[in-house]
Each structure stands twice: as C-alpha cells, then as structure tokens.
C-alpha cells in the first residue's frame, strides 16, 4: 500500500464517503484514500432508520420552522448561524443524493413521502422505509466505484495522527495506521486528513451504536491537541429495544412514535403528557428523562411502545426492519407491546469545527458525529445528523478544492519505523478495563450524579488510563488495546466536561491535555 496520498479520510459513513465524492468530482487529479477499521457496513450510517430532515413542503413548512425546531431541541445552545446554514442547504444536499442514485419513498403523486418525528413541528423527514442509512451507504459506495482516484481500504485501524511543528504550532500531515490483516504498522502522509469516525456510544453499558463506535476520532484528535468540547452532551434515544445486560440495543425509530405509536407503562397507561404537552412527539431528551423517572418510581426495567391501534398493513410497509426484528423476538405488534428503554445514541459534542469543518489543527478536518459543529446544541433534533454530515462534508470540499494545491507536499518517508507487530488475543486485563468503563458510564452518571460521584468515576478512569500507558510501554498493542484506550479517553472527557458544567469551575490541573499514551 502506498504511504503518501493527497486526501486521507478516516471513516466510511456518509460523512467520509460524501466528502470523497465531492473532492473527486472536482479534482480527478487528486489521490483520495478512505480507511475503515472494519468494513463499509459496520458504522452508524448503514444502521440509520429515520431519514434526513429537509424542508420540502413549502406550503406547510419553512426554513424558519426547521430552524426554530432545531434551536428548541438544542435547548438554545446551538449556533444560530450554523443552524441557518445547514437548514437552508438541506434541499440542495438532498438533490445531490438523488442525482447520485439515492431513492426515497414517494407518495402516489410522485412527491416525497415525508415522515414526522419528535421535536419537529411539521412532517419533513425524507426516508427510505426504515432503512434510509443502508440506502445512502449503498448509493454512495456505488457512486464512488466510478472514480478511479478514490481508494477504500478496509481493516485499517488508525492509531494516531501524524503532526509536524511549524512556527504557529502543529500541523496534521497524516496518520499512523495498523493494517489488521498483516499486523504491519505504517505511516501514511497526506496533505489533508478528514476525521469521519463516528461517535462514542460503546463507552456506555447500553447503546444503540455499532461495535465500531469507540470514539477513535475524538480521542486521537484530543491527543494531537485539537480542541474537543461538550462531550457531556450525550443524547440517549428513548426507545431502544430492552434487553437485560450490556448490549448493543436494537433501535426502534423515532418515526414509530411519529406514525402514532404510544408509550405506556406496564399498566398500559400513557404517561408522557404528564411531562410535556407534546406527549410522544416531545424531543428525545425529555422522553428519555420521563421514562427513567417512571422506571425509578415503579422499579420496572422498561416501558413499552404500543402499536396495536395502528394500521398494520401500512406500518409493515413503512417499518419492515422493525417488524421483522419484533417477529424474531416473538412479538406480534397487533397483539403485543415492544419493551423499550433509553440507551446512549448520539454524541452531540466532539471535535470543535468551524463552518468549513476545520478543526483547531491546520489541515485536519472533521465531519459527522465525531465533530461538534454547533448545530445540535445539547440535544440533537431527530434526523438532523445525516443532514449535518452531508452539509459539512460539502463545506469542507468547497473550501479545500481551490486551496489544496497550496498545501506543501509531504514527502513519503522511506524510513518511518514501520514494523510488524504481534496481534494478541483480547486479554483478560483489557476485558476488565472495558467492563469497569461501561459499568461507570450511564445516563445517571452524565446527567444526575453529584460532583463527588463524578470525581470518583473520573479518578477510576484515570487509573485505567495510567495502566494502559504502562502496557503500551512494554508490549506490542492490538487494535483492541487502541479501542479501549480511545474509549477511556472519551469517557474521561465526558465526565470532565460534565463536572465543569456542573461545578462551573475548572478541575484540578492534572488533567489530560498534553498526555500521550
């Protein structure tokens, strides 16, 4: 594999793939490499059920309404200029997807079939049944295959960013990569590096996120010195299919409540109107908090989604993936209820970027869930995430294509200490660290625990970090080690940012900034 490229993209979801396409369409002369640590269908994009929030109905909807819904969901902590930019670009980004081959559900008259989700004042969710993400991932991959200057490498784990100091501080010049199939560790030099690595859901005991959501981008950016903010703004999805024990929980889409399903307790009582006048159409943060309040009072493990009163023919057409999963679990939705509970779902904070997806480190960009753009505030409005990735990858491409030739070419290193390493099996110690981590991280720890409890958890995580540091000094490290290391970094940041917000004062000076593992 070559060790020099023009554009290095880490991650193969909608953020990374759309960025690659945008660059390739304008610059056939540039070499574009996309690295993914698993395969192209392992990330969150492929599993996205909902859709893309786009103002399409100009009679009943408007950019102003979408703008206001986003601000309200984000509790006033969104950047208004960023919200305006994203909302206004949505129709153009949707048309590009359609031009690339994306197919979305339409009504009998040929117009887009728009769904309704919590927090939205109007129907504006453009979707493909309940597998929109799969449709988009496959569309983008098919389109990318038309461009010979784009290369996708699976099973390549990026361990750290490469930096070079200049007069104004560090500049990103690529990444250090572990080739998982060969065990070779290499350094790939690039003019531009884009982090599109997704979120951090796997640091929590229960999450809707896939196994690859281990905060890799956030952790490596932080270690490199990039600014990371608001990591305590973790969104919990209120309706994950309940299963006992630490699991990746199957998501029951927001759109199911938009379709008319009720949330009820074990007695069959709808309870959400006691917390918010919008009932089932309140935002995710409100519904998650309401469910957890009900469970604390009742002592039960879950509440339920009631779909029995719905038109089941239409429901099956709209949500075939969810119906199939429920059937596999022995639930007939015409007679039974879906057990649900809140689970960690989306990272609203992350690597701080500007409107062009630039981080605080020159030549390092970030898009998608790993980035904190200012769109979401403290709570993401449903179906704004795929849209955000499209818009910021577009913005980055618009900024870069006329400027990339000005970036000094980084020569390929001939002797860059590449070497073969052993890939040990998952050790008992690493499993122990992961077990300790996920048992510490919960909704309660982020949003309800007091300062003393948070500080205790923060110190426990620091102790794990120190042990990981010692391990890295004495042995070759596997991809599992790097994932655990990244998860611990992210968890420390979540608690640290939560503490700062809760106490309104800075922590003790012996924090992470500048520490290298």
Report yes or no: 376 and 360 within 8 Å, Cβ to Cβ.
no
Catalytic residue among 27, 223, 284, 465: 284
195 shares its domain with 296: no
Same domain, 22 and 135: yes
One domain for residues 67 and 105? yes
Burial class (CB in 10 A: 0-12, 13-18, 19+), 334: exposed
Last residue of a domain, one of 296, 311, 344: 344
Tally Cβ neighbours within 10 Å of residue 449: 19
Q: Assess whether 437 and 304 both reside in one domain.
A: no
**Domain range enclosing 486:** 423-503
- Domain assignment of residue 82, yes or no: yes
Same domain, 316 and 387: no
284 annotated active-site = yes
Integer Cα distance of 208 and 429 in angstroms: 25
- Name the DSSP class of 201: G
Q: Quick one: pLDDT at residue 477?
A: 73
- Is 415 inside any structural domain? no
Asked if the structure places residue 258 within a domain, the reply is yes
CA separation for the pair 211, 36 (Å, rounded): 13
Terminal Cα-to-Cα distance of the chain (whole angstroms): 27
The whole-angstrom distance between residue 245's C-alpha and the CA centroid of its chain comes to 23
Do 312 and 445 fall within a single domain?
A: no
pLDDT on residue 474: 59
Q: How many CB atoms lie within 10 A of CB 373?
A: 27
The DSSP secondary-structure symbol of 358 reads B
Give pLDDT tens digits for 155-205: 999 999 999 988 788 999 999 999 998 888 899 999 999 999 999 999 998
Cα within 13 Å of Cα(371), Cβ side = 32
Q: What is the pLDDT of residues 390-435, one digit of tens each?
A: 999 999 999 999 999 999 866 554 444 444 444 354 578 888 999 9
User: What is the pLDDT confidence band of residue 317, given thresholds at 50, 70 and 90?
Assistant: very high
Residues 339 and 355 in one domain: no
pLDDT band at 38 (very low <50, low <70, confident <90, very high): confident
Domain-embedded: residue 467: yes
Taking the C-alpha atoms of residue 81 and residue 236, their distance in angstroms, rounded to an integer, is 26
Residue 479 vs residues 311, 366, 461, 476: alpha-carbon distances, Å = 47, 22, 20, 10
Residue 423's CB is within 10 A of a number of other CB atoms, namely 16
pLDDT at 516 over 90: no
pLDDT of residue 473: 67
Distance CA 87, CA 91 (A): 8
CATH code assigned at 479: 1.20.58
In this prediction, residues 484-495 reach a mean pLDDT of 96
**Whole-number pLDDT of residue 244:** 82
Q: Is residue 515 part of a domain?
A: no
Which three-class secondary structure string do you get for 69-115?
A: HHHHHCCCCCCHHHHHHHHHHHHHHHHHHHHCCCCCCECCCCCECEE
As a residue count, the chain comes to 517
Whether residue 353 is found in the same domain as residue 496: no
246 assigned to some structural domain: yes
Same-domain pairing of 77 and 29: yes
We report the CATH number of the domain holding residue 335 as: 3.90.700.10
List CB contacts of 421: < 8 A, sequence separation 6 or more. 178, 183, 184, 185, 476, 477
Q: What are the DSSP calls for 204-232, one per residue?
A: SSEESS-TT-S-HHHHHHHHHT--EE-TT
Asked, for residue 510, whether it belongs to a domain, the answer is no
* Sequence-ordered list of residues with C-beta below 8 angstroms from that of 5, at least 6 positions apart, any chain: 31, 32, 33, 188, 189, 190
Q: How many Å apart are CA 391 and CA 393, to the nearest integer? A: 6
Instruction: Give the separation between CA 98 and CA 248, rounded to whole angstroms.
Output: 31
Alpha-carbon separation of residue 430 from 108, 433, 436, 470 (angstroms):
54, 5, 10, 13
Q: Provide the 10 A C-beta neighbour count for residue 81.
A: 10
pLDDT in tens, 67-105: 999 999 999 899 999 999 999 999 999 999 999 999 999
Nearest to 55 by CA among 121, 131, 103: 121
pTM (2 d.p.)? 0.91
Question: Can you tell me the distance from the alpha carbon of 212 to that of 201, in angstroms, rounded to the nearest whole number?
Answer: 9
Instruction: Verify that 246 and 98 share a domain, yes or no.
Output: no
Cβ pair 140, 14 in contact under 8 A: yes
**210 belongs to a structural domain:** yes
**Do 43 and 158 belong together in one domain?**
yes
Q: What is the CATH number of the domain that holds 54?
A: 3.50.50.60
Number of domains in the chain: 3
Nearest residue to 214 (alpha-carbon basis) of 370, 343, 359, 390: 370
Of 327, 344, 361, the domain-final residue: 344
Q: Is the pLDDT of residue 484 over 80?
A: yes
**At which of 293, 317, 344 does a domain end?**
344
> Which of 134, 447, 131 has the alpha carbon at shortest distance from 284?
447
Shared-domain flag, residues 187 and 77: yes
- Residue 427's pLDDT is what? 79
């Amino acid at each position: 594999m070559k060790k020099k490229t023009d554009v290095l993209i880490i991650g193969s979801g909608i953020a990374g793939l759309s960025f690659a396409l945008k660059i390739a369409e304008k610059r056939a002369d540039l070499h574009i490499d996309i690295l993914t640590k698993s395969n192209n269908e392992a990330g969150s994009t492929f599993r996205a059920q909902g859709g893309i929030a786009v103002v399409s109905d100009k009679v009943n909807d408007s950019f102003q309404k979408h703008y206001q819904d986003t601000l309200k969901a984000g509790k006033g902590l969104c950047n208004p200029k960023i919200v305006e930019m994203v909302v206004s670009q949505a129709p153009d980004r949707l048309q590009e997807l359609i031009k690339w081959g994306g197919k979305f559900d339409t009504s009998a008259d040929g117009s887009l079939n728009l769904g309704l989700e919590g927090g939205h004042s109007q129907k504006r969710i453009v979707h493909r049944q309940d597998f929109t993400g799969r449709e988009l991932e496959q569309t983008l991959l098919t389109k990318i295959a038309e461009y010979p200057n784009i290369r996708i490498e699976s099973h390549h784990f990026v361990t750290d960013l490469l930096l070079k100091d200049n007069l104004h501080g560090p500049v990103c010049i690529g990444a250090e990569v572990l080739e998982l199939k060969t065990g070779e560790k290499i350094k790939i030099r690039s003019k531009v590096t884009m982090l599109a690595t997704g979120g951090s859901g796997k640091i929590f005991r229960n999450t809707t996120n896939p196994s690859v959501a281990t905060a890799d981008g956030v952790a490596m950016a932080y270690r490199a010195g990039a600014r990371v903010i608001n990591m305590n703004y973790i969104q919990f999805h209120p309706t994950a299919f309940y299963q006992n024990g630490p699991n990746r929980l199957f998501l029951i889409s927001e759109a199911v409540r938009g379709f008319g399903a009720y949330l009820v307790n074990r007695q069959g009582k709808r309870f959400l109107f006691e917390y918010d006048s919008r009932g089932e159409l309140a935002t995710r943060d409100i519904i998650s908090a309401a469910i957890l309040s009900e469970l604390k009072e009742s002592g039960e493990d879950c509440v339920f989604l009631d779909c029995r009163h719905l038109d089941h023919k239409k429901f099956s057409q709209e949500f075939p993936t969810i119906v199939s999963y429920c059937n596999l679990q022995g639930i007939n939705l015409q007679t039974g209820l879906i057990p649900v509970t809140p689970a960690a779902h989306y990272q609203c904070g992350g690597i701080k970027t500007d409107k062009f997806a630039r981080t605080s480190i020159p030549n390092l960009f970030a898009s998608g869930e790993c980035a904190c753009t200012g769109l979401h505030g403290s709570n993401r409005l449903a179906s704004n995430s795929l849209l955000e990735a499209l818009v910021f990858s577009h913005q980055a491409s618009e900024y870069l294509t006329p400027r990339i030739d000005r970036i000094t070419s980084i020569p390929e290193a001939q002797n860059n200490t590449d070497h073969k390493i052993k890939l040990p099996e998952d050790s008992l110690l690493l499993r122990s660290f992961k077990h300790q981590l996920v048992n510490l991280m919960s909704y309660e720890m982020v949003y309800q625990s007091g300062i003393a409890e948070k500080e205790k958890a923060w110190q426990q995580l620091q102790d794990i970090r120190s042990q990981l540091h010692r391990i890295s000094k004495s042995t070759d490290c596997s991809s599992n080690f790097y994932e655990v290391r990244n998860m611990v970094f992210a968890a420390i940041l979540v608690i640290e940012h939560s503490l700062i917000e809760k106490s309104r004062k800075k922590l003790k000076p012996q924090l992470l900034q500048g520490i290298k593992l």
